[in-house]
Structure 1
Amino acid sequence: MADSSVEDMVLNMGPQHPSTHGVLRLELITDGEIVKEVIPHIGYLHRCFEKHAESLTYQQTIPFTDRMDYLASMNNSHAWVMGVERMLGIDKDIPKRIEYIRVLVCELNRIASHLIAIGTYGIDIGAFTPFLWCFRDREHIMGMLEWASGSRMLYNYIWVGGLFYDLPVGFEERCREFVDYFKPKMIELNQLLTDNQIFISRTANVGVIPLDVAINYGCSGPVLRGSGLKYDLRRIDNYSAYPELDFEIPVGKGEMGTLGDCWDRYKVRVDEIEQSVKMIEQCLDRLQKELKRTPEFDPRAKLPRKITPKAQDYYMRAEGAKGELGFYFVTDGRSEIPFRAKSRGPSFNNLSVLPAISQNVMIADLIAIIGSLDFVLGEVDR
């Protein structure tokens, strides 16, 4: 009897698949349940950010930065604003109170982003309760950021030279109450998910990214640190108020399997939440003891009506929730609109490593790998 030939099957995963974390289409070449090749197709959520940035003033572009990584909008606008301030030469003149408020809201937003990453990752693998718990705690942060800025997700709060508005009266006390509430919740989450043997079995030794592969693909953030490299721009570039804060840089250690696997990347995000809580507490201490609000404090800088940096090429980078977020400016020295603004979204590079680490894995394991990369498509397509 002649052997029957078996052809590879081409499967579409997305762009509506619930496990693709946005409108991402993955073309899978499969041999039964084994994935032989993954071909990502992007461009379904094109934000036209760079074209907007080349058509609007620096201040007018801030709301469009929010729409890239819309799960951590504060970090996007912080990077953009710091780039403009350094081109203007006013970065050293920003009041300390403003710097600490910026770090405070950015770290709150980082926790909210990581809670989504952890909660959705759990539900991808089949754990429903952590998803509900993470969104419950994220809702507290959304409420506080809405109180400060007037918006739940797209804030337009950090402006060139300052802030849209000072923190509301009582914000620091309410934030302290949230921290006291949140610490025990993270212990419960670790008991439920991090130490869960089923979760460990689904993530350990799966989707291993060797350190050299992570570096060569330009990975950053928790994806890079999950492979063991202690690389965090908040420490390396020492921008804003971060040099004055005490915090650690969590890295993957291969505790449950191979260094750089899905579990390591997940654990780095869990540990980063704890470090963000530490930073928030330090910011609150400074704001409540030394940098108290005063009637004459004006969070909005007295800038000229037209912001026109000198002619230059300048690259500004910052540690977003997903990794290195960078903006490359080309200015002509005459216009208040940049001649060119190029955005470097960390999710794009983190997604690019997917085909390299997904060969000969099970389809079910591919879901675990996708969730561990934690990309957001608004930042991939830009």
Structure 2
Amino acid sequence: MGQLEIEKLNETTFVLQMGPHHPATHGVLKLYCEFEGERVLRIIPDVGYLHRGVEKLAESKTYPVAMTITDRLDYISSMTNNIGYCIAIERLMGIEPTRRAKFIRTMVAELTRLSSHLLWLATHALDIGAMTVFLYAFREREQILTFFEKICGARLTVSYPRIGGVRVDVEQAVLDEIYGFTDTMLKKIDDYEELLTENRIWIARTKGIGIISAEEALSLGLTGPVLRGSGVYYDIRKLEPYDAYGEVNFEVPLGENGDTYDRYLCRIQEMRQSVFIIKQCIEKIPEGQVISEQSPQIDMPFQGKREILADGSLWNGFVSFTDKKNEIMPKGEFYSAIEAPKGELGFYIVSDGSGRPYRMRVRAPSFIHISAIPKLCQGHLLADVITIIGTLDIVMGEADR
């Protein structure tokens, strides 16, 4: 919206530029908002302040090294980002992860979904004016991050999954701790609902706000809880199961009205389903290796440090991957997607046969969902804009790539 357009506005309209550093935009997002009184006439999102260049950076890295970049997309969900990228490379190369690794990856993916939804609930409630839920949700999220630290030594950007499995095994004591946490978590979700679900202020701020029909949501490419809140049954974990999702039972919560309240209920129910999946993974997890024997050809070798230095396998692997003349990967282009906490996370990769992706494109849910802001906000009040940004659950790290 340029200066000329602003000058054309009549006396009853005005322009408010929200962001790029506004706490309710959940990142570096700028919105050009045109209002008549307090009612939204038009909103234009401006995405482009971070300039991180993740996709181009990946093209200069080897396949295993490029995985560390995916941690920084939606940094709240680094585990699922890693898993989505690893599955893409595994499908390209025909590598089958071990069964134990599949169950571990499914468990940590659902812990990540819990962590992501907890952060969403905390910040969304705070934006609308509920402070207590913010403190409650961060309490449980802190416990999940502690589990990640015990599993792999990192809390936020983990780089734990590997092409063909996971980096290290999970100790039984940690599995027992997580299993005990699941029962506690179900009670905590009940506490969140007691504070919000029947709260008349929460209902007034969310019911009937940001309504989008199933047809409109599909035409905009929305996925995840935002799409399912409009009643569309689309969950990649069910439709194209990966890792251990085909061996566990869970339901896909759906909304009816496609408003902010329905999207809230969907995420609350998804948290419960995540708890059930985690319990099943721990109960069914088999013994065995945590990384495929096919994996060392493109990742770190199995041997210990002394053996690696003695036989030169690490150096040979480095040379084969960095030399563009060596064709060690299948040529072609492909797309692979998983169900991340915010929606469909896809990786489109073009391989020229070398150890680096020739081109990589990330289909990030936050970027797609930002395009829905103008549609969802039109006709609503200024205060509702904050509510609608929160209900989309966007993280700008994966939006401006």
Corresponding residue SS for 1:170: helix
Structure 2 counterpart of 1:284, one-letter code: I
CA RMSD of aligned residues (A): 1.3
Q: Is the 8 A contact 1:345 1:379 kept in 2?
A: yes
**Displacement of 1:46:** 2.9
**Residue 278 of structure 2 is aligned to residue 280 of structure 1:** yes
Q: Is 1:381 equivalent to 2:400 in the alignment?
A: yes
Structure 1 residue 54 corresponds to structure 2 residue 59: yes
Amino acid corresponding to residue 314 of structure 1 in structure 2? F
Match of 2:72 among 53, 58, 67: 67
Do the aligned residues in 2 keep the contact of 1:74 with 1:109 (CA within 8 Å)? yes
Task: Classify 1:53/1:182 alpha carbon distance in 2 versus 1 (closer, same or farther; 3 Å).
Answer: same
Give the TM-score taking structure 1 as reference length.
0.93
Residue type of the partner of 1:60?
V
For the 8 Å contact 2:212–2:230, the answer to whether it is kept is: yes
Alpha-carbon distance in structure 2 between the residues aligned to 1:329 and 1:283? 30
2:221–2:368 CA contact under 8 A, matched in 1: yes
Q: 1:195 offset after TM fit, Å?
A: 2.0
CA distance, structure 2, for counterparts of residue 298 and residue 278 of structure 1:
23
The TM-score normalised by the length of structure 2 is: 0.88
Structure 2, gaps ≥5 residues long: 1-9, 298-316, 322-327
Closer/same/farther in 2, CA of residues 298 and 105 from structure 1, 3 Å limit: closer
1:89-147 alpha-carbon deviations (Å, 9 max, x no partner): 113xx211000000000100110000011111111111100011000100000000111
Paired with 1:117 and 1:276, the residues of 2 have a C-alpha distance of: 15
Matching of residue 238 in structure 1 with residue 230 in structure 2: no
Matched residue, 2:14: 9
Moved runs in structure 1, 4+ residues, more than 6 A? Answer: none
Spell out the pairing of 1:15-54 with structure 2 (5 A cutoff): 15-54=20-59
Distance 2:15 2:197 in 1: 34
Letter in 1 for 2:336: M
**Whole-Å separation in 2 of the counterparts to 1:54 and 1:46:** 16
- Match status 1:326 vs 2:346: yes
Out of 343, 356, 361, the position equivalent to 2:380 is 361
Mapped to 1, the partners of 2:91 and 2:137 lie a distance apart of 37
**Aligned-partner SS, 1:90:** coil
Task: Tell me how far apart the structure 2 counterparts of residues 236 and 309 of structure 1 sit (CA, whole Å).
Answer: 28
> What displacement does 1:303 show?
2.1
* Number of equivalences: 364
Instruction: Check 1:183–1:298 CA distance in 2 against 1; reply closer, same or farther (3 A cut).
Output: closer
Matches within 5 A, 1:138-287: 138-253=141-256, 259-287=257-285
For the 8 Å contact 1:163–1:300, the answer to whether it is kept is: no
Identity of aligned residues (%): 42
Code of the aligned partner of 2:174? F
SS in 1 for 2:75: coil
* CA separation of 1:355 and 1:23: change in aligned 2, threshold 3 A: same
Note the C-alpha offset of 1:378. 0.6
How far residue 299 of structure 1 moved from its aligned partner, in angstroms, is 3.5
TM-superposed deviation, 1:332: 1.3
> What do the CA deviations read for 1:356-376 (whole angstroms, capped 9, x no partner)?
121121000111111101011
1:31 and 1:75 mapped to 2: Cα distance? 42
Paired residue type of 2:215: D
Per the alignment, in what secondary structure is the counterpart of residue 172 of structure 1? helix
Q: Distance in 2 between matches of 1:45 and 1:122?
A: 26
1:298: Cα distance to partner? 5.2
| 1:35 and 1:363 in contact (8 A); partners too | yes
CA distance in structure 2 between the aligned counterparts of 1:140 and 1:351, rounded to whole angstroms? 30
Query: How far off is 1:169 after superposition?
Result: 4.2
What SS is found at the alignment partner of 1:361? Answer: coil
1:194 is aligned with what amino acid? T
Deviations 1:34-92 (A, max 9, x none): 1111111112223211011100011001111010011111111101001101111113x
Q: Is the 8 A contact 1:164 1:300 kept in 2?
A: no
The separation in 2 between residues aligned to 1:283 and 1:270, in whole angstroms, is 20
Please report how far the alpha carbon of residue 150 of structure 1 lies from its aligned counterpart in structure 2 after TM superposition: 1.2
8 Å CA contact 1:251–1:268 kept in 2: the answer is: yes
Once the two structures are TM-superposed, the CA of residue 155 in structure 1 deviates from its matched residue by 0.3
- Measure, in 2, the Cα distance between the counterparts of 1:202 and 1:379: 28
- Pairing partner for 2:364 from 335, 341, 345: 345
For structure 1, which segment, 230-239 or 303-312, has the greater mean C-alpha deviation from structure 2 after superposition? 303-312
Quickly say closer, same or farther: Cα 1:135–1:175, change in 2 above 3 A: same
Counterpart for residue 256 of structure 1:
none
**Contact (CA 8 Å) 2:100, 2:290: kept in 1 or not?**
no
2:309 corresponding residue in structure 1: none
User: Secondary structure at 1:19's aligned position in 2?
Assistant: helix
| Contact residue 149 and residue 155 of structure 1 kept, 8 A | yes
Structure 1: how far apart are the matches of 2:127 and 2:395? Answer: 15
Report if the CA contact (8 A) 1:166-1:299 is conserved.
no
